[in-house]
Structure 1
């Protein structure tokens, strides 16, 4: 019995010991191993605040800040801490509904986890920030956080600077979670290209919270904080005053301007028109502004300076002359007996100069832009017996043109550059089924046919001509603060490229003389500046565009390229004005004012009237207005069909807009209007309203016609009663076609303009 009792006692002790061990192990796990309750305790008492660094500042060549920072506030949420809040009141403050509230909470939890702060609403407007700052303590899990936001003090250089935007899922994946949801990243321009230098490093601060979720002080005397590191500043070659002047001169026009310093490759100014205010893509309204820019048919977000591909027109001729001289197919004394047309090939090529001797030598041929001379030179280059075939001749010519920086990307330090197009034999094999010769592409010698370039490439080509054979890759950034001199981002821009330095200085001098004559006595006379020797070349590229499925011939593009001064050049400029006509009319004065401003730091008083005149010229193509109307009205019609609300669509049916619905060529109603006349399968009520509006318009038209006929009859009756000898009235036969056929218009020609295919950039 005692033994039995002793055994039972031992068993009970073992049971209690086991229970104690289990409880101890659980306590050890909860307090030591598991971080759950520790994390919850810390969350109740501490607030972990991310500190976003200020992005690097961008300066122009004179040290002026052209891209800086200001402070706005984001509304942040930590999903795990959102408990027992008045959702309805919160939604009223933020301006959303409860469904959107719950969607954002779930989205933040899924994308960034329940314990990490996520942007609930970014860049609060001032009035919303004031409301939230007063009431934020009522909403556990929410806080306001400073956000450095970009600001553009000069409202200029939008395409160069670029813009920043919140990271998306694709960027998060590519960065291997280096970025967090809510981070901002460069999306275009210098902001994107130099993102690693500009972004800085995120910091962390720990704050103590009270029982009302208010921040009352820093934790551990800031010893656990990690300070944010500001981004590195960029110093550029840009001259912001020159940039602003270029944007002013290109206002109301479609085109581009590029100015480069030949000795360094530093870009002094770059403008794409139409442009936009870069501040529109910062702040609370940036999404609406971005959507408006995307839907604009004039494409203000499109950087024509690096992406616009145009036929070069006669601006190619100095390059063609240098190739011919180097190949030995022409000499400085070579001439061509031109009488206003080139007839050596089956298709005549027009030349505006008719007087004898205007192409007696190379210098005169450049000065007077003789099409016949340069078509003949191009054919001599291709048919050179040294190559034994025109196919080899074309490929050799392509090598030369590529060496002048055409037909490939130059590597400028902003993204999305295009390379233009220099055709090879395959392009003509396809077009002519392998049966072609030098006449098939003769107009390429005057910058037409399939030759396409960007304004940046033409400005760089002028640097090569000015430097007599070498160039540096065009770039904006001169230095990065805190970066070594051999920084990989900038190292390649310091390399000197000498692709055509083998061409003799004597040959370059002949071409320089011809280009200076263009400014002094030729088509570039509007660019003359007393006391400055400008070497230039005008160009006129034909312009065709597909509108409503038809090829429509529009006003030619205006080209002008130059460098100055002739000795020790300081600036090279390329200007293109779409639909501008002759190169000397629109593009040349713009380049001239830019050269004067840069070299003399001022514009002469006598030329301020010219500056004002160019600024006021509006050369925006009228067809863009019509295309914009059709796109907007189509979207309004789609919205009306889907929602049943025709308010937006109705305004497009007012008399002031109706004329835009006429087809460009034959006056027929557009497919859009014909489609809108069909009953809507989606909303019968809308169909009834549209039918009613149509009936009212028809009744008004019939009533107006009746009134006109009655008035005309009364007039005839009165005339007949007062003049017995009057002849009987015979109604006029109405015109069969009142539409305008743009394709039938003949363009005004000049030495730079020939009948030629053209591609639309």
Structure 2
């Protein structure tokens, strides 16, 4: 028994010894990592930053690409600069900049390299590369600069900038490091994981002075950086630039959608700026200048600005009224007894005429019938029950909710219901007389331009829509987001769209938007005038075309421009013609819209006016102030 135990103990220690020997063999012979660490004085690990994915328009034209640049890094404890003034002259910086940059690098780490100067061009790098050998502690790293083929889509594309301390701390996986760039807004933020690619690693040999001596072990341990995936958008770059030009010296939005699939054709937020100014080493200075501008060019108005929809909302009222059966296509109303005024037009004996002439009393009566379900009794309970049912029907048009576009910070808007008015007035303390302004798209209703462009797409499709989106496919295999293939129904039967579309055609041919007819294109449209507490009303127009086979649905908002037919409708129809035909026939209308300056109609406070004077012009450009027509090919 004792003899057997002795063999067990000897066997146990023998096994442990063999395990240790095998582990030692692996570490010394097979595993290269310890060899790399022990050779850290002569072998350097270099992280290869991949190019971000490129972004294309619907015709395959590049919108965003990358330009190779170089970053200058410093390791403070190794840094030796005997002649600081000469060093500053070489880099083209001031002495105070040098002191500031060194202080920031030292605060980060004295032993680790960090960014000293970003985005040196190939020419700058070539001119100073040999000179920098004299300054130990400094090294170059390859990088890239986001570059744009046209000064457009600034808010939609977004920008990349250095990752913040908070973002570093909150990252779920340890991918990003100090000084890395990350998408901060727009498409760059939403598609960060697809765009960023995968890092590579190289091991290089260097002498005691840090001079490169070639790859270590012939590069057999290196891993290649993998570029980010390309994104393919529905944007038509030529149409986008044209729409930008029409919105110069105006405040507002243009949103154009392909109703067949929800792809965004153009998205203008005005005033805008050249996106390259936030892709330069002067990011902080340029961003601050844009942030101080009182016209707020950093706000992405198509998805963030909120307006009352005005008369464009009457289209939804008509469709729901027809579907609920409270009116028929031939229902007419007089102006008598309505607390809302109307335009000087003939009688409104049908739904189509009500839409064509944008008759306020007509839609007051339609809304009243819906709320009371044709039983006209001005009681709270009837108003509350009818309002909630109306709210549920309207919400199916995407009103009062986020549509889910692939952009951050989409505004929900406001679609009031019983609970909303209970909070505002108190329970059982409101009735129809408090809410009738909803009938003509005023009151507490708030929408975004994107939502109204989507309403135009719904009417073009006779009852459904696809989630509006900028990017339709990703990568070489053109992967699509399955959410963008889902058809969203409004539950309004297709036959009810005929009278409404007839009225929209009438509005363009001989009604409130007759100034904006286009020869050869059958357009269905509706003007709107959104009331403002300060300044003139805002001009709104939504439309789709051609009626017989819709290819574009559009919404245009121009702040403080007055009636919908004055500015929004002409801009919308010019964009429609440009997209469908590639040319413009009404040169007089085009010229008047290109020249129109409506910025002075926007009401600014005294503080905002002072800020406008104080806002310095940024390095490349500030707010775009002149037409940027696409170049002729």
TM range, normalised to the smaller chain? 0.7 to 0.9
8 Å contact from structure 1 (residues 56, 198) kept in 2: yes
Partner of 1:752: none
CA–CA separation in structure 2 for the residues paired with 1:415 and 1:395: 29
Shift of 1:129: 4.4
Structure 1 pair 633–276 and aligned structure 2 pair: CA distance change class (3 A)? closer
- For residues 273-292 of structure 1, what are the structure 2 equivalents within 5 Å? 273-292=270-289
Runs of 5+ unmatched residues, structure 1: 1-27, 545-552, 637-761
1:615 aligns with 2:594: yes
CA–CA separation in structure 2 for the residues paired with 1:392 and 1:458: 26
SS at match of 2:531: strand
Out of 319, 323, 327, the position equivalent to 2:320 is 323
CA–CA separation in structure 2 for the residues paired with 1:569 and 1:102: 60
8 Å contact from structure 2 (residues 289, 615) kept in 1: no
Partner of 2:106: 106
Structure 1 range deviating more: 124-133 or 63-72: 124-133
Out of 376, 396, 400, the position equivalent to 1:403 is 396
CA–CA separation in structure 1 for the residues paired with 2:85 and 2:518: 69
- For residues 132-151 of structure 1, what are the structure 2 equivalents within 5 Å? 132-151=128-147
1:95 aligns with 2:100: no
- For residues 81-480 of structure 1, what are the structure 2 equivalents within 5 Å? 81-82=78-79, 90=87, 93=91, 94-97=93-96, 99-109=99-109, 114-115=111-112, 117-124=113-120, 129=125, 132-175=128-171, 176-338=173-335, 343-344=337-338, 348-353=339-344, 355=346, 357=347, 359-384=348-373, 389-433=382-426, 434-480=428-474
8 Å contact from structure 2 (residues 229, 474) kept in 1: yes
8 Å contact from structure 1 (residues 353, 368) kept in 2: no
Shift of 1:206: 2.3
Partner of 2:475: 481
CA–CA separation in structure 2 for the residues paired with 1:56 and 1:151: 12
Partner of 1:72: 69
Structure 1 pair 420–37 and aligned structure 2 pair: CA distance change class (3 A)? closer
- Aligned pairs, number: 579
TM-score (normalizing by structure 2):
0.86
TM-score (normalizing by structure 1):
0.72
Residues 227-252 of structure 1: per-residue CA shift (max 9 Å, x gap): 11000001111100010011000110
Structure 1 pair 88–41 and aligned structure 2 pair: CA distance change class (3 A)? farther
Residues 355-408 of structure 1: per-residue CA shift (max 9 Å, x gap): 4x2x11111111101000001111111112689621010011111110011110
Q: Which has the larger radius of gyration?
A: 1
8 Å contact from structure 1 (residues 124, 284) kept in 2: no
SS at match of 2:105: helix
Partner of 1:557: 538
CA–CA separation in structure 1 for the residues paired with 2:175 and 2:412: 32
Shift of 1:511: 0.8
Structure 1 range deviating more: 96-105 or 36-45: 36-45
Structure 1 pair 319–86 and aligned structure 2 pair: CA distance change class (3 A)? same
SS at match of 1:306: helix
Partner of 1:681: none
Partner of 2:523: 534
SS at match of 1:349: coil
Shift of 1:525: 0.7
CA–CA separation in structure 1 for the residues paired with 2:125 and 2:52: 22
Residues 156-206 of structure 1: per-residue CA shift (max 9 Å, x gap): 111111110111111112224310112111111111111111100111222
Runs of 5+ unmatched residues, structure 2: 1-23, 617-633
CA–CA separation in structure 2 for the residues paired with 1:512 and 1:633: 47
CA–CA separation in structure 1 for the residues paired with 2:190 and 2:558: 28
SS at match of 1:319: helix
Shift of 1:289: 1.1
8 Å contact from structure 2 (residues 293, 615) kept in 1: no
Partner of 1:601: 582
Q: Quick one: higher RCO (CA 8 Å, sep 6+), 1 or 2?
A: 2
8 Å contact from structure 1 (residues 57, 234) kept in 2: yes
Residues 273-321 of structure 1: per-residue CA shift (max 9 Å, x gap): 0000011111222221111101111000101100011000000111100
CA–CA separation in structure 1 for the residues paired with 2:374 and 2:593: 49
8 Å contact from structure 2 (residues 528, 540) kept in 1: yes
8 Å contact from structure 1 (residues 149, 282) kept in 2: yes
CA–CA separation in structure 1 for the residues paired with 2:442 and 2:122: 55
8 Å contact from structure 1 (residues 367, 518) kept in 2: yes
Residues 442-500 of structure 1: per-residue CA shift (max 9 Å, x gap): 11111000011100000111111111111100001111114574x6xx11111111132
More helix by share: 1
8 Å contact from structure 2 (residues 68, 122) kept in 1: no
Structure 1 pair 429–105 and aligned structure 2 pair: CA distance change class (3 A)? closer
8 Å contact from structure 2 (residues 84, 95) kept in 1: no
SS at match of 2:268: strand
Residues 1-52 of structure 1: per-residue CA shift (max 9 Å, x gap): xxxxxxxxxxxxxxxxxxxxxxxxxxx9xx98xx999778634323332211
8 Å contact from structure 2 (residues 156, 407) kept in 1: yes
8 Å contact from structure 2 (residues 314, 441) kept in 1: yes
CA–CA separation in structure 1 for the residues paired with 2:490 and 2:522: 26
Shift of 1:565: 1.1
Partner of 2:505: 516
Shift of 1:567: 1.6
- For residues 728-743 of structure 1, what are the structure 2 equivalents within 5 Å? none
8 Å contact from structure 1 (residues 161, 190) kept in 2: yes
SS at match of 2:537: strand
Partner of 1:740: none
Structure 1 pair 294–591 and aligned structure 2 pair: CA distance change class (3 A)? same
Out of 482, 494, 509, the position equivalent to 1:491 is 482
Partner of 1:629: 609
